[in-house]
Chain A
């Protein structure tokens, strides 16, 4: 039996290997996005579930929705998705309960072991029944707990009312007695005394006549309204007494505390009130109003002894209730503790099942064959792995039939997939943030890995700062495994994600630091300087260094440090250097177009687009670059004239072509060369403007001549239909291949011309403004050097001049200040700003020359994100 299954599988592979013949053998590169294939899967219904599971683990295939016209609730697996939703609801409930109790949930890493071998439908079934049971139990306990709590609150309120009313009554009776005694003393009439005496026996605990009253508690916020309404109803005859209940006296029911998501602990603020009134009707009215305002009323006896007795009774009951409450809570806690052990694993199961069924819903159900048909994109290179996963899935499901995969031919543009590793990931993210490259377009991400840190370092050149930056990034790299899961701090995670970028930025900053000879704004004397300082000079004189025949071997001569004209020198150097690097960077970007044109089989665009662009660029800025280097290489003192100003030269090249003043002349014949270059650049403009629209028009004419015009959108339809049949024959089924042709747009010459005009203007102006834009390299590196020099001289430099103990203390303090500011301002803040500028140079100046970035990213089926509790379930405390 087993052997036969193997044989069948072997046959499968034989049959379907021919479709995989176009294997990609070379090593994956980042230059172009991965080659993709549109694949079709026929999966028998019994193995569908495990197939999706395998593929989700593989993360190498992106499924297309084959039922776009079907409502979400009419799809095949909707009931399962709904079950997952229901299970999620139960899990949410339980998670919130666990969280409210402050029980720690076992982290996912520990519970993952529980998942082993537990997947598929029966795992969900099991889990479902457990969840139902747990939810019912916890909900029942919650209900009884809440009821008990409510009762406890009521009793506590009753106790407070008893205590407070006792105070009213006592006060009232003493006052009454006082009045009475003063009255007795004042009125000596015996008749009056008789009456009083006669009434004596009737007196109850309270005054001379029975006053009726209503007592209870009410929310403190409602007190003023309550009083006002009562006053109006009783027409001003209101005798009301109230007292505030101590804020912490009343227990807060969890149901109310839970609904208030705030940092502050919620408290019940209530007042005890007692209203005296006469007449049953009025009392009824008061009661009704009080109740409608949400007050709780208590019947209180006016007799002091009875109140005492009641108070004792209430207190005893509160104590009983509290112990019951404690017990209930304890049992609930135990139950929740048990759930907390494995709830994270349950989350994973449910969320994964949901992913699986959501994917299955994208597939098409073939009623006749009991199979599911799926279509999706996969990297061509990974097809064998996917095949293996399909076989693995059928083994997992315990059947001998596995899913069948075969490749489809298509005219659709596949998604863009760059295979990155942890090093290239960050750099690719920088480019993807600008735009995802079109399928198989040259990917600037590859070059960014070096040019980005390099351009950054040009602006950030300092050995010391570079070392600190590289070292901290290196620490992150070394501790990689520790932070892999994320720390929860967004800022830190961002830095962690860019750790390799930062590391390279640091290394390059060390390199440029050596070139600028800057270490914390000081210089290194690594070799003998080419300048010698004269030994005899008077104080206050300007001293001029004498140049020797010796040459400093590497970077900037340290003698420039502190020289009066150091800034003039470095400015000139860095400014020209920025232009040189900028022009090279952009020229390289233009050259990359050639690779795109060749790859997309449009060689005519090389002369129609690339050639005029590069000529335009080089005839103006390439020439400038050559002049810069030439000017550097000439010893102008020997020639015996002032070095000509290059900026003026460039301006005059445009404004007065053909004229070069003799004192500004760089080399003989300059005027002729410049006129030629200017003409060349001018020719390039109409060249760029006209050729491409013309080519497009010609191509369109050609198609039209062949007679495809009338059919319009169906022009390619015939071919597609053939393809369609072919693939059907291969698959041996009638399953519909969702092969929609890209609709051919109506050819509109005007649109193309306008587009090309915009493009040309953008390119020509862009060349000028982008070159100027590279001057930011100079500006930022200047700012960085000056800032670090200012910081040095303002803080720590002064400390070196002091001596003795005071000097030590001062130095200690100053060092702390200098170092903090160095890290905070010079490395972090300046680093961020240099990062942003490097980013801009890549996005705008570099990418705009060749990169279109109109692709869609490859989003493979994945389990990622299923191993955590979804956001918002637990409200952060």
Chain B
């Protein structure tokens, strides 16, 4: 109850701003208008009538889909930075936690890129702007895990998460994946603890979101590790200790050998049951994993939408940016379909509101 009294004092304004941003998310009718576009030019015109306004007006045609995604992401980043620079504790810390996920992705991207001897500047441009930190560029110097930690990561917020990975020796593709997932596991657990420490109602909203994220990662790790050199013990270590599948589900996943065993695990949770259900669903044709991602996104969107039902909590901040990200993914998908003239698949986007 005290939240209702004092929440507005520290985050009320920003929540108002954010709900304003949320009102700018594309609606179903706007999506259906977008899908009717014949060319990217039409697409741009149609977007001009939405909250995006004329954000592409100064681009010289022809416009590529990557430009659209880039500009849209830039808007997301601007909005995020506006919120972050006006925030106070505990919202600041909460938003910082949100950026850690992007940081992990950026770190892994850079390490992998360096491993495959890509150009550092190209890699830097491909990094997500929300996950940028000062010493990020120097990641490319490191050649082994320990060096990575001692030179660069030790002073970033990721340092505590990285401590668990120090045992890994060489940087190869498998190890990098292990590093990524270990980092993510520690991050999710840490974030979850932080969210719990904020108490209800933030934790009521955020906990399911983070738990789902954890479950999603566990499932992905399991499915992707079939037929790779990853041992089952190693796999078990990568599963976050939160989520609805933990602990019975994850231990079953750790022992799983094929997709059917995964399916058996999923049957334990009602909401997850249709994820791998290839029989009834319409998109089942392309078999399992591709449809799984879409199911994940859809379920995530529905969870995020729930966050807006409750006031006086920080979950809306997380949810809005996740929804916005989803919107950008959808926009890019539609634009890509238009550009490649693949009209038959244009409706496979995932609408938000």
Contact = CB atoms under 8 A, between A and B. Distances in A.
Interface in A221-263: 222, 225, 228-229, 232-233
Interface in B105-156: 120, 124, 134-135, 137-138, 140-141, 150-152, 154-155
Contacts of B58: 89, 92-93
B236 interface: no
B151 A229 contact: yes
A289 B134 contact: no
A232 B140 contact: no
Contact of B140 (A78, A89, A292): A292
Contact of A293 (B37, B45, B137, B154): B137
B152 A71 contact: no
Interface string A275-310: 000000000010011011110000000000000000
A92 B57 CA distance: 10
A289 B36 contact: no
A292 B41 contact: no
Given A72-B49, A82-B41, A289 B57 contact: no
B40 to A, nearest CB: 11
Interface in A440-493: none
A77 to B, nearest CB: 13
A246 to B, nearest CB: 25
Contact of B137 (A73, A74, A292): A292
A233 B140 CA distance: 12
B280 to A, nearest CB: 35
A228 B155 contact: yes
Give the secondary structure class of B's interface: helix
A93 B135 CA distance: 36
B313 interface: no
Given A89-B57, A232-B150, A292 B134 contact: no
A73 B42 contact: yes
A292 B120 CA distance: 7
Interface in A53-110: 71-74, 78, 82, 85-86, 88-89, 92-93
Contacts of B49: 72
A82 B40 CA distance: 12
B229 interface: no
B61 interface: yes
A168 B255 CA distance: 64
Nearest to A284: B141
Given A73-B42, A232-B150, A291-B120, A85 B57 contact: yes
Contacts of A86: 61
Given A229-B151, A229-B152, A73 B45 contact: yes
A229 B135 contact: yes
A93 to B, nearest CB: 8
Nearest to B154: A232
B46 interface: yes
A289 B138 contact: yes
A232 B45 CA distance: 52
A425 B49 CA distance: 33
A285 B135 contact: no
Interface range for A: 20 to 34
B64 interface: no
Given A73-B37, A228-B155, A288 B140 contact: yes
Nearest to B136: A292
Contacts of B137: 292-294
Contact of A71 (B41, B46, B60, B154): B46
A225 B154 CA distance: 13
Given A85-B57, A233-B151, A292 B46 contact: no
A82 B120 CA distance: 39
A232 B141 CA distance: 12
A72 B138 contact: no
B33 interface: yes
Nearest to A139: B60
B46 A225 contact: no
A668 to B, nearest CB: 65
Given A232-B151, A232-B154, A294-B137, 15 more contacts: A73-B46, A74-B36, A78-B45, A82-B45, A85-B45, A88-B57, A89-B60, A228-B135, A229-B151, A229-B152, A233-B141, A285-B141, A289-B141, A292-B120, A293-B137
A469 to B, nearest CB: 41
Nearest to B43: A73
Nearest to A85: B57
Contacts of A292: 120, 124, 137-138, 140-141
A222 B141 contact: no
A701 B53 CA distance: 51
Contacts of A72: 45-46, 49
Contacts of A285: 141
Contacts of A222: 134
A71 B120 contact: no
Nearest to B41: A82
Interface in B32-72: 33, 36-38, 41-42, 45-46, 49, 57-58, 60-61
A271 to B, nearest CB: 16
Pairs of residues from A and B, 6 with the lowest C-beta to C-beta distance, nearest first: A292-B137, A73-B42, A225-B134, A232-B151, A73-B45, A229-B138
B127 to A, nearest CB: 12
Contacts of B140: 288, 292
A72 B37 CA distance: 10
A228 B154 CA distance: 11
A58 B6 CA distance: 58
A288 B141 contact: yes
Nearest to A74: B36
B157 to A, nearest CB: 15
A867 B137 CA distance: 50
9 contacts: A72-B49, A85-B45, A85-B57, A86-B61, A228-B155, A232-B151, A233-B141, A292-B137, A292-B138
Contacts of A291: 120
Contacts of B134: 222, 225
Contacts of B41: 73, 82
B83 to A, nearest CB: 22
Contact of B36 (A71, A85, A89): A71
Nearest to B137: A292
Contacts of A88: 57
Contacts of A82: 41, 45
Contacts of B33: 71
A291 B58 CA distance: 32
Residue from the set A71, A92, A93, A225 with the largest chain B CB neighbour count within 10 Å: A71
Contacts of A232: 150-151, 154
Contacts of B154: 232
A52 B268 CA distance: 68
Contacts of A289: 138, 141
A726 to B, nearest CB: 36
A751 to B, nearest CB: 30
Contacts of A294: 137
**A228, A232, A233, A292: residue with the most chain B Cβ atoms closer than 10 Å:** A292
A225 B36 CA distance: 50
A462 B155 CA distance: 74
A225 B135 CA distance: 7
Contacts of B151: 229, 232-233
A78 B44 CA distance: 13
A715 B124 CA distance: 68
Nearest to A81: B45
B115 to A, nearest CB: 15
Which of B45, B46, B124 counts the most chain A CB atoms within 10 A?
A: B45
B352 to A, nearest CB: 21
A71 B137 CA distance: 46
Interface centre among B42, B135, B155 (most CB of A within 10 A): B135
B351 to A, nearest CB: 18
A810 B155 CA distance: 71
Interface in B68-125: 120, 124
B129 to A, nearest CB: 16
A268 B138 CA distance: 23
A93 B138 CA distance: 37
A86 B61 CA distance: 9
